[in-house]
A and B are shown apart, each in its own frame.
Chain A
Amino acid sequence: MAVSFAAFGALALAAMLLAPLVGSTPISLSRVFDRSIPFADNVDAQIFFVARLPRVLAAALVGAALALAGVVFQALLRNPLASPDTLGVSAGAALGAVLAITFNADFTLLGVTAVPLASFAGSIGALIIVYGLSAARRRGTSTLVLLLAGVTLTSLLSAISAFVRYLADFTETIRTVRWLMGSLDVGAFTPIAVAIVPMGMAMMGFAMLPRVLDLISMGADAAAARGVDVARAERVALVSASLATGSAVALAGPIGFVGIVVPHLVRLLVGADHRVVLPASALFGASFLIACDLIARIVFVTEVPVGVVTALIGGPFFLWLLFRHA
């Protein structure tokens, strides 16, 4: 257990330190942390901390949040195919953003602009609907019904998004399309600092869950018979995973694949115990998205949407792992 944490922790730390060194202007790590040069004169430090670190931190946060949400939804729904998008929270976030872009919403709150705010509001709206559905579940609806309801809600919200985009003019459509591809280019520390609040609340929820998720993944009744307060655990899991997803999408747009490929990869490496899987997925999700974003920045002539890279790299790699083990 300790070995796994050390390995995944070292990987995440290395990714966070090394990724900002790479880019169009080469900089050196020793110069970045050279205290003898004042910050105002230290170009390397400025590039590292001001230009590149926010983007790397955003990648780390979003990667960790999406991977954690994926793990939790998969265990909660007892379905390995579940992802942070499954219950409609991402679609709600997308609808919020599409509305804000199309209607040129122009307001800021705590230094955050309209699009991420609307996106977060959209995810909260979707969460409220899903929460209502899960309350129905406690009156005897199965997990399968919750899953179907989530898929239906996703389709419904996506259809509304599509309709709004159909009404929009060309410029707004381009902006929407770019947003829907996802980007970690957050530009400053402020959006990250704001996103940390809901993500921190989600983390507190996740911290209560690991053992409970082990038991719930074996069946709700079986978990209850082992002493789990299943209704309460489901509530905590649903709200924290939705908050994590909503704030990740608000920060960087919908970035697919992290929430499904990272948890499965981690499970292949460390086994099924969520007390290891959950923290390891957070660390590995952060590393994975930093690496994907790095590739999106430097490998191609122009910058590629990071969501395209996560799928292009994660997909074949995951398939290879699956069939190597099968």
Chain B
Amino acid sequence: MIEVRGVSFTYPRGDRTILREVSLLLRPGAIVGLLGPNGCGKTTLLRLLSGTLTPNNGEVLLAGNPLSALTRRDIARRIAVVPQETHATFEFTVLDVVLMGRYPHLGPFELEGPADLEIAYRALAATGTGHLEARPFASLSGGEKQRVVIAGALAQTADVMLLDEPTASLDLAYQLEVAALLRDLNRTHGTTMVVCTHDLNMAASLCDEVVLLRDGGVLAHGPTADTITVESINATFGVAADVRFHAAAGHLAVVPIARTS
């Protein structure tokens, strides 16, 4: 379980407080959406959750331990991160990239053993990328790359997965595919997921809970169906929107109509 306790953050030499006094409790096994306008601090919050940034005030607790007291390896065994885009400088194969997820579980000079390979192959199978195993990562399409990076995060066998705009650079079909994959992984592995996104409809379809952020603070946090409302969208984004339940999709649908501020 992750708890954010009174966290404030300003970038070094930055003149603006990105997050102020943020407190959150992330329920284990839930898919939580982080929503808010550009510059609201979503990505910064995600980086604080992964421990790549350290709060100026307050702390992030992982199962009761502050992240600042854990080593990077300890954190990586419990928390995996899927960035918006991944660029490989060199010609790694898909299997190479997935095996990198085993890094926090290996000793300094230890090579991956059969057990690690088995975990990597299971991650490839779970993300439907087994057939790509020997392909150079750089040669994949955007959707394939994202699935492979998710497989790498799975191979990390962490119980928390943080995803930064996982579908932002993907076309419609891949967006649906990645969202379905995440939901499936959440059900089968019980992985807690925190998803940063601009896509309200994706959040509505995928997330159990959403957190609405504005100007570095939490406006609302609750079950998706209760939290995404005409009023909360107006308060968060300054946009008038139509929000209604879409029977065919089985979740809320949000249609933005006009700016209000």
Contacts and interface: CB of A to CB of B under 8 A. Distances in A.
B114 interface: no
Contacts of B80: 225
A98 to B, nearest CB: 34
B12 A224 contact: no
B174 interface: no
Interface stretch (A72-80, A121-129, A242-250): A72-80
B12 A140 contact: yes
Contacts of B162: 225
Nearest to A325: B91
Q: Counting chain B CB atoms within 10 Å of each CB, which of A215, A226, A271, A275 scores highest?
A: A226
A227 B106 CA distance: 10
B47 interface: yes
Nearest to A139: B12
Contact of A215 (B81, B91, B93, B100): B100
Contact of A217 (B11, B77, B89, B93): B89
A33 B14 CA distance: 69
Contact of A226 (B87, B104, B108): B104
B93 A227 contact: no
Interface in A48-80: 74-75, 78-80
Interface stretch (B68-76, B120-128, B179-187): B68-76
A92 to B, nearest CB: 26
Contacts of A145: none
Contacts of B71: 229
Contacts of A275: 111
Contacts of B52: 221, 224-225
Interface residues of A, number: 27
B104 A272 contact: no
B13 A78 contact: no
Nearest to A274: B90
Interface string B117-150: 0000000000000000000000000000000000
Interface residues of B, number: 36
Nearest to A275: B111
A71 to B, nearest CB: 10
A9 interface: no
B76 A219 contact: no
A219 B82 CA distance: 12
Contact of A140 (B13, B88, B104, B156): B13
A297 interface: no
Contacts of A219: 83, 86-87
B50 interface: yes
B122 to A, nearest CB: 18
Given A224-B72, A225-B80, A228-B103, A218 B11 contact: no
Given A140-B12, A140-B13, A222-B86, A271 B91 contact: yes
Interface of B: 11-13, 47, 50-52, 71-73, 75-77, 79-81, 83, 86-93, 96-97, 100-101, 103-104, 106, 108, 111, 156, 162
Given A222-B83, A224-B50, 18 more contacts: A75-B89, A80-B90, A214-B96, A215-B103, A217-B88, A217-B89, A218-B87, A218-B92, A221-B81, A224-B51, A225-B76, A225-B162, A226-B76, A228-B103, A229-B71, A229-B72, A271-B91, A272-B92
23 contacts: A74-B89, A75-B89, A79-B89, A139-B13, A140-B11, A211-B103, A214-B92, A214-B100, A217-B90, A218-B86, A218-B100, A219-B83, A219-B87, A222-B83, A226-B103, A226-B104, A226-B156, A227-B104, A271-B92, A271-B93, A272-B91, A272-B93, A272-B96
